[in-house]
Amino acid sequence: MIKKEEKISNLFKYYFDIRMLRILLLGAISGFPWVLIGSSLSLWLKEEGLSRSTIGWAGLIFGVYAFNYLWAPLIDRIQIPFLTKKIGHRRGWIVLMQLVILISLILWSLINPSENLALLISIGLVIAIASSTQDITVDALRIEQVGENETKSMAAGAAMAVVGWWTGYKLGGVIALFTAEYFENIGVNNYWQATFIVMGVVVILMNIALMFVHENSYTERILSQKKTDEIIKNKLGNNNFLTKILSWLSGTIGGPVISFFKKNGFSIAIGILGFVFLFKIGEAFLGRMSIVFYKELGFSKSDIAIYSKTLGWITTVVFTLLGGLFAIRSGTVKTMFIAGGLMAITNLMFTLLAWSGKSELLFAAAVILDDIAAAFATVAFVAFISLLVDRTYTATQYALLASIGTAGRTLLASSSGSLVDWLNGDWGIFFIITALMVIPSLVCLWFIRKKLKLSEK
């Protein structure tokens, strides 16, 4: 018993590394924009009288997260004038994207949704592009905080990144909802527009905090990239402008993809991609429509803020850290199976809430259980794909796998509002369907589980 307690204590020590605090901040920077184009935008459109289908299809802007791997190699190479030299390559890109988000929030504060819906969605798309672009750099900077051979610290870092993401998402949601309700109660007509100005201030504060995140020298990475280009250029033969372009494209785009399939084998690689694409679809269908469901059931913005955001954040933080420990002790694959089962079970809790009517007790229970499942699923997922990447192409391969996972959650889940309408508003059946959506991904994982080449120790 004493030995077991000592082992658990030794596992917890990884969370007290100062690098974990930096990773926590990076996660928060990554999660915050999802509040803007997720629950805040959905509730804004709902209160402007737009239909469930319109709100659901507006979520297509999240689709850009599914394709950010396409420009990930460019983010790895292109330096931002002035910013790169002053604050570093990674931080320079993050600050630039945060500036784009800040300008977009100011523009949102000047728009009437019912009169300029296309413009509003277009600006939301700009926020999504900036956010997905910054995620490439955030993930690379997060991984680079930990040494290549520090396996347990990398697992702890994955958990802290998830905690940070949910902190940015949940607490950002609390700020947005309480601010919007406050402005509404004091008689501000365009209370959501005013709320986005407050959210802009949060963006500024995050950029100030970013300056405390250490960034390693990028000189060695640039030299390594140039060496790869030279090898490819020599194989192409003639040293001219065309061969320079071909060598650059081959080294930055082709290399990471070829490496992934070569490392895992074609059939296993396809199985991995299938699992990553399908795993969190059910969770995404629920998440996209959850705030609309809460509103239709009669819960106020403050109820949603307390139960879904504040209480949910506390639950998520605790169980993400526990999920990280579980993944370290039992392995990520086993954790993925458990997380998949938890997601299905908790989705059924929302069916019970839908068929029982408004109940704060059931609401709290459903939200807590859903956040527990999401915490286990997310930390396992981040650790899983972090272990799969080749450190030679960390940023691009991580962006590729994360983007494929996002594709399943965004492209398919955009039809969530239409599915509810097709079911004539029967939320109970809707949540049962979302519970069943996890099964195909677990089937994929079952067939490839013994052949995965994970660097777990």
Q: Give domain limits for the chain.
A: 9-448
What pLDDT was estimated at residue 100? 94
Identity of the amino acid at 83: L
| Confidence band for 391, pLDDT divided at 50, 70 and 90 | low
| Confidence band for 130, pLDDT divided at 50, 70 and 90 | very high
Q: Which of 207-211, 215-219, 423-427 has the lowest mean pLDDT?
A: 215-219
| Confidence band for 103, pLDDT divided at 50, 70 and 90 | very high
Mean pLDDT of the chain: 79
Identity of the amino acid at 425: G
What pLDDT was estimated at residue 231? 62
What pLDDT was estimated at residue 243? 65
Place of tokens 């030279």: 230
What pLDDT was estimated at residue 6? 41
What pLDDT was estimated at residue 3? 46
Burial of 432 (0-12, 13-18, 19+ CB in 10 A): middle
Residues near 429 by beta carbon (within 8 Å), at least 6 away in sequence: 351, 423
Tell me what percent of the residues of the chain surpass a pLDDT of 70: 83
What pLDDT was estimated at residue 225? 58
Nearest to 382 by CA among 452, 419, 332: 332
Q: How far apart (Å, rounded) are the C-alpha atoms in residues 394 and 155?
A: 15
Nearest to 450 by CA among 277, 298, 268: 268
What pLDDT was estimated at residue 96? 94
What pLDDT was estimated at residue 2? 42
More confident residue, 13 or 321: 321
Q: Can you say whether residue 187 is alpha, beta or left, with left for phi > 0 and alpha for psi between -120 and 50 degrees?
A: left
pLDDT reading at 4 higher than 60: no
pLDDT reading at 116 higher than 70: yes
* Six token digits for residue 199: 């959210």
pLDDT digits (tens, 9 = 90+) for 135-160: 888 888 888 887 766 767 777 888 88
CA distances from 217 to 63, 71, 89, 220 (A): 33, 22, 9, 7
More confident residue, 402 or 202: 202
What pLDDT was estimated at residue 7? 58
| Confidence band for 93, pLDDT divided at 50, 70 and 90 | very high
pLDDT reading at 381 higher than 70: yes
Tell me what percent of the residues of the chain surpass a pLDDT of 90: 5
| Confidence band for 312, pLDDT divided at 50, 70 and 90 | low
More confident residue, 66 or 401: 401
**Average pLDDT of 416-426?**
82
**Average pLDDT of 281-293?**
78
* Six token digits for residue 190: 């365009």
What pLDDT was estimated at residue 99? 94
Residues 42 and 62: beta-carbon distance below 8 Å: no
pLDDT reading at 245 higher than 70: no
pLDDT reading at 260 higher than 70: yes
More confident residue, 115 or 345: 345
pLDDT reading at 403 higher than 80: no
Neighbours of 149 (CB within 10 A): 10
- Report the predicted TM-score, pTM, of the whole model to 2 decimal places: 0.69
Residues 400 and 273: beta-carbon distance below 8 Å: no
What pLDDT was estimated at residue 240? 63
Burial of 434 (0-12, 13-18, 19+ CB in 10 A): buried
- 9-448 maps to which CATH number? 1.20.1250.20
